[in-house]
Structure 1
Amino acid sequence: MNKWKVSLTTSLLLIVLSACAIQAPPPRTGGPGAPLQKIRLPMGYIPNVQFAPYYVAVERGYFAEAGIELEFDYKFETDGMKLVAAGELPFAVVSGEQVVLARAQGLPVKYFLQWYRRFPIAIFSLKTKGIAKPEDLKGRTVGIPGFFGATYVGWRAFLDANGLSERDMQVQEIGFTQAAAVQQGKVDAAVGYIVNEPLVLEANGFPVNVFRVSDQVDMVANGLVTNEKTLRENPTLVRNMARALLRGIADTIADPNAAMQISAKYVEGLQADDPIQKRVLLATIELMRSERLGISSPQAWENTQNTLLAMGQIKQKLDVNEFFTNEFVP
């Protein structure tokens, strides 16, 4: 599904947590009658049930209560990180490794709310292949969408965590055909999103073995990024944005059925009773669960940075506090 790019000139994906009480956002500036601030939010992917927390927060008026009128930008050509860094947009949905790459290039961006608590990338294979543990990948053929993006970052982190190297196997670039390539036996295993390809295969009667990258190493996943100028000049907007989305996340976790009903209004062709899409939503909820919604950890940022260093994507370490803040999470 979501094809998050490592290159800062490409589209950003996408693709927290546990149902805990979320404080109501403060009243909008200027009082209840004040006009809403229109905000365009680059999502990095097409309309999808995985964005349910955003849809719930809009539908239930949480963004409006925060003084925000949200417009979803699903265009792949929108480079959300670049626009946020330039101050042309205040927010974008990004993956954690994108923030590290941006800061390494001197871009003034900062991640302020974690949406997915767990990194969503996985390595999967048909059960009939007998790949039951990571070392079983030795000598096998593994398909990846390309040598870029969150899938490749997750793949490299997985290898490092298990003492493996790409030299131990044959790695093939197969584009975004992972499910079909695995099903048809073109590769023995593939790298993809835990809420996409493995679910598709299982739903079509092909049982799979899955290695979740998040079970091997804790890295920063999808969330919201802003720029230093907005943090400095309009911290209330940042806080309101965070609280509105957190309410949507908490509601989605607490009532998936209602979240499906709401998402059907925002995703063309989505049926609220679609069993496969319901599984996608439930898998997404598992990525979101956390003891405290919204926060990211210094260690996860350190792990993400170390992976990019090992890949040669960045040249030197930075202070992880440059990447994120939890100040705006209630």
Structure 2
Amino acid sequence: MSGEELVTKVKRQSYRAMCASGGPILSALAALWLAGCSPQADAQASADPGVPEGVLISTEACERNSAVGTIVYVSGYGYSASAGQLDVFLAKEMGYFDALCLDVEINAGGANGQQLVSSGQAQFTALGSASDVILAAANSSNLTAVATYGTTSPFSIFAHEDVTSLKELEGRKLGYFINITPIAKAMLDSAGVDVSKVELIRMTNYDPTVVTRGQVDAIVGYASNQPERLRAMGLPFNEFRPADYDLQGTYNVMEVNTQFLNENREVVADFMRATLKALHHCLDDEADCVERISVLAEENNQGSAFPADQQARTWAVEAGWVRATGKAPGVQSIADWEAEHAMVAQYGDLRTLPAIEDMMDPDLVASLYVDGELQWPGE
């Protein structure tokens, strides 16, 4: 860290601390700094390059947000350019958390995000679909979904060019990662596939060319990643998506520790407000966000896993999924999950299935918008 960066960091920490302390003992200088906690001071704070990005909320709100201490977000997919992840990294990078007096720490290597959040060791994490949330909720009652970013399933089955229908997978090899998702099982069932005749192989290699080279005949993958890599390489393959079988899914879900939500609802709302502010920026300027997240990945030794060209392809697809909902980003409803909930009930191998309303808060993110516009202090 350079000397200038260190000075800025110290100023930022002092600034937040003074916003949190308040009281009559503040010196005149501290009172001037404290004025930056109000929306009216934003222009002044921004105009002075020696002052960190201005705090935009009231002293009371700043104290409330600071009082919870460090908020830990776990990215189970590293620096991937995906909603519910990209926006958290960018909210921190662009100072949106600081503007709301939130001290956010990001764990970018935590594949066990659900366990960490459920146990209270972290507060937020993102999952790939409502199915993931439902399956996790069967083993934990301390997770609440506060945002769903799309109503398009992110999963697809991509296959060797010789496989022209899913039915043709009988007698062939189908790869999967971690588990065969309920929506993939529903696809196979809808196509009339006898799964007992398919050789299922758990994959550890994320190289999609294992399909085009015939090492496996097909893979249950993430539609914005591996198939897009094959397209970029100009390799022939066939892809089957849930929509081909009139199956509706969900794309990416933000979860929070339920106890933390119950005790700090306004803080959770401000965390989501900051991330959604970043998400709107990433929808408006895809190139800027891809560049920012790719630089962060490189700086944190994940550049080889998340090269800029791959990030650009991924976000181009996933940004489309966010826009396709027809409503404000992140806003969710019980109806959005009903189709997938039914699929998990049929294909998820669970003895009991939690009700959707027991896993989701449909009101928190919706309350951050007025007439489809995200409410941001000072705007």
Q: 1:122-142 CA deviation, whole Å, 9 max, x = no partner?
A: 11124x3151x4444445432
For residues 211 and 259 of structure 2, what CA distance do their matches in structure 1 show? 46
**Amino acid in the other structure paired with 1:156:** K
Q: Which residue in the other structure is 2:320 paired with?
A: 286
Counterpart of 2:224 (choices 195, 213, 222) is: 195
Deviations 1:273-309 (A, max 9, x none): 9444321221221232222211233244233333333
Question: Relative to structure 1, is the Cα distance of residues 136 and 286 closer, same or farther in structure 2, using a 3 angstrom cutoff?
Answer: farther
Asked whether the equivalents of residues 143 and 178 of structure 1 are also in contact (C-alpha less than 8 Å), the reply is no
User: TM-score if structure 1 supplies the norm length?
Assistant: 0.79
Match of 2:286 in 1: 256
Q: Name the counterpart of 1:8.
A: none
Change (3 A) 1:27 1:227: same
Match of 2:40 in 1: none
Question: After superposition, what is the alpha-carbon deviation per residue over 1:197-233, rounded to whole angstroms, capped at 9, x for unaligned?
Answer: 1122122220332222355422333221113322221
Measure, in 1, the Cα distance between the counterparts of 2:352 and 2:184.
Answer: 21
Would the alpha carbon gap of residues 212 and 229 (structure 1) be closer, same or farther in structure 2, given more than 3 Å must change? same
Match of 1:72 in 2: 106
> Map of 1:23-62 to 2, 5 A cutoff?
27=57, 30=60, 36=66, 37-50=69-82, 51-62=85-96
Q: Which residue of 1 aligns with 2:237?
A: 208
Q: 1:286/1:306 Cα in 2 relative to 1: closer, same or farther (>3 Å)? A: same
The question of 1:142 aligning with 2:174 is answered yes
How far off is 1:86 after superposition? Answer: 2.5
**% identity of equivalent residues:** 23
191 and 241 in structure 1: CA distance in 2 versus 1, 3 angstrom threshold: same
- Aligned letter for 2:342? N
Aligned mate of 2:138, from 104, 128, 142: 104
Larger radius of gyration: 2
Aligned to 1:304: 340
1:173 aligns with 202
The structure showing larger relative contact order (alpha-carbon pairs under 8 Å, at least 6 residues apart) is 1
SS of match in other structure, 1:246: helix
Within the candidate set 251, 267, 272, 1:221 is matched to 251
Decide which of 306, 320, 324 is 2:360's aligned counterpart: 324
Superposed CA offset, 1:128-175 (max 9, x none): 3151x44444454322235x2xx5333213223444341353333333
Specify the code of the residue in structure 2 equivalent to 1:184. Answer: R
State the distance in 1 between where 2:332 and 2:350 align: 21
Q: Note the C-alpha offset of 1:43.
A: 0.6
Contact 1:101 1:313 in 2 (8 A): no
Question: Per-residue CA shift, 1:2-37, capped at 9, x if unaligned?
Answer: xxxxxxxxxxxxxxxxxxxxxxx9826636698854
**Residue number among 192, 212, 216 corresponding to 1:183 in the alignment:** 212
**For the Cα contact (< 8 Å) 1:161–1:217, is it kept in 2?**
no
Structure 2 counterpart of 1:176, which letter?
Answer: N
AA in 2 matched with 1:112: V
Using the alignment, how far apart are the partners of 2:357 and 2:56 within structure 1?
A: 27
Letter in 1 for 2:226: E
Moved more, 202-211 or 169-178: 169-178
The answer to whether the 8 Å contact 1:143/1:189 transfers is yes
Superposed CA RMSD: 3.0
Q: Could you tell me whether the CA contact under 8 Å between 1:28 and 1:66 is conserved in 2?
A: no
CA displacement, residues 178-203 of structure 1 (integer Å, 9 cap, x when unaligned) = 61320211222211111221122122
